[in-house]
Amino acid sequence: MDDLRQIIAANLVLYRKEAHYTQQQIAEKINYSDKAVSKWERAEGVPDIIVLKSLADLYGITVNDFLTTHSGKRKKLRLRDFWAKRWLIALLSAGLVFLIATIITVIWWIVAPEDGGRVAKYAYIAAIPVSLIVTLVFSCVWGRLWMRCAVASALIWTLCLLLHLVIIESSDYAWMFYLIGAALQVLVILWFVLEYFIRRGKNK
């Protein structure tokens, strides 16, 4: 029984770290305290079967994977495939945004050919921030902290470009949008640094 408890504890730690979650994040996802998660990972207790099933679903594995000792390489490959599938879903969702932009462009070109080029330009420019919003949602659920920061930064500047080209393309005051973007970028960086130190403190 003690050997099994040690195996479960080791697997709980490995899968959590491979998925880049903190103990606090796992606790929030399964509605337990971080102290309980810490206790399980120190082999001072064993989560019940319902918790193990929830964690297995979260990591894309089976409950039996928590009970078995296997090579680290095999576990890493399985988790890598799991995360690849998740990001493929995110990319497909973002791609659907560009598909919708293409459909709108084609229909507009058929109905009003004289405005087709202008609509195509705006449709595809607008599709960029919309697809980034979709990607940001997935990165908040599945991604790492630096991914969220990168996607949020890209979203800020593409929104600035969209406002510049669509709203006041010929105005002398268009640069003000980028000034706002710069202020937002500073806030994103500060949020990234703050979140990094908070997570680092929780992992100690």
Average pLDDT over residues 98-124: 78
What's the confidence (pLDDT) of residue 78?
61
What's the confidence (pLDDT) of residue 22?
86
Percent residues over pLDDT 70 in the chain: 83
Tell me, what amino acid is at 149? C
Domain 2-70: which CATH number of 2.130.10.10, 3.40.50.720, 1.10.260.40, 3.30.1330.10:
1.10.260.40
What's the confidence (pLDDT) of residue 149?
87
Q: What is the pTM of this model?
A: 0.55
Tell me, what amino acid is at 61? I
Scanning the structure block, which residue is given the tokens 């309980």?
36
CA distance 132 to 19: 23
- The 10s digit of each residue's pLDDT in 11-60 is 898 888 877 788 888 888 888 888 899 999 998 888 989 899 888 888 87
Q: Residue 115, exposed/middle/buried by CB under 10 A (0-12, 13-18, 19+)?
A: exposed
- Confidence band (pLDDT; 50, 70, 90) for 137? confident
- Confidence band (pLDDT; 50, 70, 90) for 166? confident
Percent residues over pLDDT 90 in the chain: 9
Contacts 24+ apart (CB under 8 A), 178-187: 181/156, 181/157, 184/156, 185/153, 185/156, 185/157
Computed over every residue of the chain, the mean pLDDT equals 80
Average pLDDT over residues 127-138: 86
- Asked if residue 153 has pLDDT above 80, the reply is yes
- The 10s digit of each residue's pLDDT in 51-104 is 998 888 888 788 888 888 765 555 555 666 666 677 788 788 888 888 988 888
What's the confidence (pLDDT) of residue 176?
81
Exposure string of 150-176, with b = 16+ CB inside 10 Å and e = fewer, is bbbbebbbbbbbbbbeeeeeeeeebee
- Confidence band (pLDDT; 50, 70, 90) for 169? low
CA distance 63 to 12: 11
Question: Which of 41-50, 105-114, 166-175 has the lowest average pLDDT?
Answer: 166-175
- Confidence band (pLDDT; 50, 70, 90) for 112? confident
Query: Where are the domains positioned within the chain?
Result: 2-70, 83-203
- Confidence band (pLDDT; 50, 70, 90) for 185? very high
